[in-house]
Structure 1
Amino acid sequence: MRYMAFLRRFVSGFSVLVVVTVVFLATTANDRSFQIEAETLGAAITFEGDQNIWNFSAAILCLPRAIPDLRQLTTEAVDRDTACTEAFFELAERTDLSIHWHHGDEVAVSVDGEGRLEIEIRRRRETDVPEHAFLVIPADIWTRQGALTFVGSARIGGDMATGARDYLRAGRWDVRQTGIANSLFRDVTEVVKRGDFTLGSSVQVLNAGMPATLFGSITRSAEAGIRLVALSERGEVELQVAYFGVGTPVILRPDWIDRIVSSSVLIALIGVMTFASSIFQIFMFARSGRNL
């Protein structure tokens, strides 16, 4: 009887230890990152570091006029689906253009109705392509253009409104998490949560309430707009999603339930506890002489 009491206490203590371990590992903050794939008509990027270089074989540089030339406001010019009109900008053709984006430079990237890539320079240190200018990449050049990579923060999709032309069309996201809950001995990354973007949403990855660093690329979409793929920095990052008509953006992050159901380590611990309890119950029945 003393042996049975000891065994009962041992199994009970072991079960409590496993439960406490599972809860601790599930609720302990682990490093995670977001991966985003989006089909969008526009995105705003703020560059970080000094390793961002974009090359174009041909481009049109649109420099703001000091005084608008309203004589250029012809019916044909008004009908053109572009922000870069000769009434408000001086146009200059450039070939073999290489732009070195510096830390803090900010651009807005979009595709107009004629398939041209438009880059609005919102903030820039250098004056070769100054602030408030536009770069227009002709449709035939953009079709053959390779990927444009970037390191920095990004807001994907503009605010949805009547006449908006930079809205997000579709996309998806997933959260990849590392830590002891994923593997005891290796730096393994597991997908713990995923979802889709709805048309018109505007998304941004945050870290401690500030824009997180993304490592991304921009390519031509098979349909309208651009395709943006990015992986965020690792940390306690979260995804902010704003919807038209919703005053407060939605914050998406994995919770402890997501960690448990996606963690092979935690599932294994729960399995061990269940197996040990089953063996103990069988042993107890056998000792008491009952038939199973």
Structure 2
Amino acid sequence: MTRKVIAPALKIVTWPLGFIRGPAQVFFVSAMFFLATFLVLTVATANRSFLIEAHTTTLDVVFGEGQNVWRLPEATVCIPLDVPDFASKGPCGIAFEAKGEPSEAIISWAENTKINVSTQSDALQITVLEAPGSDMIERSYFLLSAKSWKSAGALTFRASVIVGQDLQSGSRNLLLNGRWEAREAGLVTSFFRNVTEVVKQGTLPAGSKATVLIDGNPARVYGHFTQSEDNTLYVNVVSQLGNTALQLNSFGLDEPILIEPDWVDSAISSPLLLALAVFFSILASASQVFSDTSSITPRKEAEE
């Protein structure tokens, strides 16, 4: 019974070998096996990182470990009031109170502090949403004029971020436009080229919300934002390497879009894999020519 099962199985496994006749076929099969193995190892050992460049009027930041120090020149600190002051004509509005005169503020953001950065006409507003383990007052915010914001320069962060927000009727703060890239670096390709390769890229639709995930959780990103010419936020972030994915929320969709390049994207976009395929094709052709030449020569000698 065992022989009856094993014998047909061996025929199925060895059936492709019946087509291997001569060195050219052997080389072709070996090359295909090598390329397939290389592709599998490349995908299996690859670490992916996402780049996001965007113009937006809103950005959520949850600070991580490490130094996150911002210098805010001529900043007005606005503290929430228990009861609105309808007679107030200050820069903070009726629901907030200005804490002293505008002055330079140097802030060292604590880990897990969550803020929202948004543009308000010709000003920049940095609102403290959550501040666990910190003496900052939640809902308070820092207000900078366009001139003060420009002198602040680039403000960097090590954090998880959300670029844009869910679009609703009347929304004033939203993602305007942007682009993203998925970059991969792997153990196998590092032996040949110590570079990251762009395996997929696309644009960020206006009004969408973008964030990078790693294994389903917010990924750490390293980035900064600056003041653009139209007083909006120019944001540039690069995520940590790993099993990352880009999540996009757009108005009208029931579920967010998850962008996670697969082995097809890696194969199409890899210059190294394409170069190896061309190299083995040339060798296979050369092997075929050599095989044909070797088979013709003895035949001619026999005729003579």
1:271 counterpart residue number: 278
- Matching of residue 216 in structure 1 with residue 216 in structure 2: no
2:53 counterpart residue number: 37
1:103 counterpart residue number: 111
Instruction: In structure 1, give the amino acid aligned to 2:218.
Output: P
> Contact 1:181–1:265 at 8 Å: present in 2 too?
no
CA offset at residue 175 of structure 1? 1.4
The one of 198, 221, 234 aligned to 1:191: 198
Instruction: In structure 2, give the amino acid aligned to 1:228.
Output: V
> Contact 2:164–2:207 at 8 Å: present in 1 too?
yes
- Matching of residue 47 in structure 1 with residue 63 in structure 2: yes
1:148 counterpart residue number: 155
Instruction: In structure 1, give the amino acid aligned to 2:292.
Output: F
**Alignment partners' CA distance in 2, 1:7 and 1:285:** 10
Gapped regions of structure 2 (runs ≥ 5) = 1-19, 298-304
- Matching of residue 15 in structure 1 with residue 31 in structure 2: yes
CA offset at residue 13 of structure 1? 3.8
**Alignment partners' CA distance in 2, 1:177 and 1:16:** 23
Gapped regions of structure 1 (runs ≥ 5) = none
- Matching of residue 254 in structure 1 with residue 270 in structure 2: no
**Alignment partners' CA distance in 2, 1:254 and 1:31:** 11
Instruction: In structure 1, give the amino acid aligned to 2:116.
Output: A
Question: Number of matched residues?
Answer: 276
Instruction: In structure 1, give the amino acid aligned to 2:65.
Output: G
Q: Calculate the TM-score normalised by the size of structure 1.
A: 0.87
Superposed CA offset, 1:264-284 (max 9, x none)? 332232123212221233234
2:10 counterpart residue number: none
1:71 counterpart residue number: 87
The one of 166, 170, 180 aligned to 2:177: 170
**Alignment partners' CA distance in 2, 1:15 and 1:208:** 35
Most deviating of 33-42 and 187-196? 187-196
What is the aligned-residue identity percentage?
A: 32
Instruction: In structure 1, give the amino acid aligned to 2:137.
Output: P
**Alignment partners' CA distance in 2, 1:11 and 1:215:** 47
Superposed CA offset, 1:94-138 (max 9, x none)? 41211110100010000012x1000111012332x4111011112
More helix by proportion, 1 or 2? 2
Over the aligned positions, Cα root-mean-square deviation in angstroms equals: 2.2
Instruction: In structure 1, give the amino acid aligned to 2:169.
Output: T
> Contact 1:112–1:118 at 8 Å: present in 2 too?
yes
